Amino acid sequence: DAGVIQSPRHEVTEMGQEVTLRCKPISGHDYLFWYRQTMMRGLELLIYFNNNVPIDDSGMPEDRFSAKMPNASFSTLKIQPSEPRDSAVYFCASSFALWTPLHFGNGTRLTVT
């Protein structure tokens, strides 16, 4: 299995631009999580899906952030417009069920200038 695949690995953009992060979970995993990691705030849970349905998006910082999962093999996290404080590493993770181990992708390092 290829594991969780995220793209791009690195993204550098200017403030105000739209950013789209992509994730392909492990086949057969019913849960997909988006996390954001910064030195100041650690690993924050942004949103998670079960069978493509968003279950809890209380961690999404504000309306500039949105996430979708149109099918079982693809999810996106979009930031529009982006701001410098959004700079972080964004991880996608998937799991077979809610309490089974999370498998993380390699992350997307976002820099907003």
Partner 1 sequence: GQQVMQIPQYQHVQEGEDFTTYCNSSTTLSNIQWYKQRPGGHPVFLIQLVKSGEVKKQKRLTFQFGEAKKNSSLHITATQTTDVGTYFCAGGSNDMRFGAGTRLTVKP
Q: How far is the CB of 82 from partner 1 (least distance, A)?
A: 22
Choice between 49 and 65, CB closer to partner 1 = 49
Buried b (16+ CB within 10 A) or exposed e, 97-112: eeeeebbbbebbebeb
Choice between 14 and 94, CB closer to partner 1 = 94
Q: How far is the CB of 23 from partner 1 (least distance, A)?
A: 12
Q: How far is the CB of 92 from partner 1 (least distance, A)?
A: 10
Q: Is 50 exposed, middle or buried (0-12, 13-18, 19+ CB in 10 A)?
A: middle
Choice between 15 and 43, CB closer to partner 1 = 43
Three-state DSSP state, 55: strand
Choice between 15 and 98, CB closer to partner 1 = 98
Q: What are the residues binding partner 1 (CB under 8 A)? A: 33, 35, 42-43, 45, 48, 55-56, 58, 91, 93, 98-107
Three-state DSSP state, 85: helix
DSSP state of 25: P
